[in-house]
């Protein structure tokens, strides 16, 4: 049985870490320096990550140019690697267009069972809204997809501290 533990056990752990680091930097609070009298903190402005930024963040963080990305730009081309990103936290997601975990699972099924089953060999799921019930309900499809491709799921949180872990799916 494959062992899951802290971050770093998957083939794409470093890539997922780079992507998340870039997303975190994108969504990070911009801080301005204050005088000592303003001891309570800093002036903060949240920038956030828009769904349409995700493909470029992946390109920038990984150097990859050929991949499928959900959400992302529509494409009729299938690639060996597909990223499925689900950002729902108000601390990191900005604007509409982000996909809930349920929608990500639907997109994975469409991608792997209908569209790109002969091409895609690596699926990387990055989410801040893991839902074990949804994964359990879809386990038959997930197992079929896992028999065709390497599937890695990374769950992350940004508050109170940035945290990433690989979880079984």
Name the helix (H) or strand (E) containing 123: strand 122-127
More confident residue, 158 or 65: 65
Q: What is the 8-class DSSP label of residue 99?
A: P
Q: Can you read off the two tokens belonging to residue 169?
A: 């799916």
| Cβ pair 87, 100 in contact under 8 A | no
| Cβ pair 145, 109 in contact under 8 A | yes
Instruction: Note the pTM of the prediction, 2 decimals.
Output: 0.79
pLDDT in tens, 60-83: 999 999 999 998 876 789 999 999
Q: How many residues does the chain have?
A: 169
pLDDT in tens, 14-48: 888 888 888 877 776 444 443 444 434 444 445 67
| Cβ pair 57, 19 in contact under 8 A | yes
Predicted confidence band of residue 49 (pLDDT cuts 50, 70, 90): confident
Please give the backbone phi and psi of residue 15, each rounded to the nearest 5 degrees, phi first: -65, -45
Going by their DSSP bridges, the two strands 122-127 and 163-167 should be labelled as: unpaired
| Cβ pair 124, 152 in contact under 8 A | yes
Mean pLDDT of all residues in the chain? 80
């Amino acid at each position: 049985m494959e062992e899951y533990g802290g971050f770093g056990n998957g083939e794409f752990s470093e890539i997922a870490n780079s992507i998340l680091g870039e997303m975190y930097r994108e969504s990070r609070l911009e801080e301005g320096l204050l005088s000592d009298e303003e001891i309570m903190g800093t002036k903060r402005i949240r920038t956030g990550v828009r769904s349409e930024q995700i493909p470029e963040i992946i390109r920038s963080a990984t150097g990859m140019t050929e991949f499928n990305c959900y959400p992302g730009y529509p494409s009729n081309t299938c690639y060996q690697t597909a990223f499925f990103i689900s950002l729902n936290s108000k601390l990191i997601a900005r604007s509409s267009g982000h996909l809930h975990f349920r929608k990500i699972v639907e997109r994975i099924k469409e991608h792997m069972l209908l569209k790109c089953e002969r091409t895609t060999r690596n699926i990387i799921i990055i989410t801040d809204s893991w839902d074990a019930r949804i994964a359990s309900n879809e386990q038959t499809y997930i197992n079929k997809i896992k028999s065709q491709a390497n599937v890695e799921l990374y769950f992350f949180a940004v508050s109170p501290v940035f945290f990433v872990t690989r979880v079984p799916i």
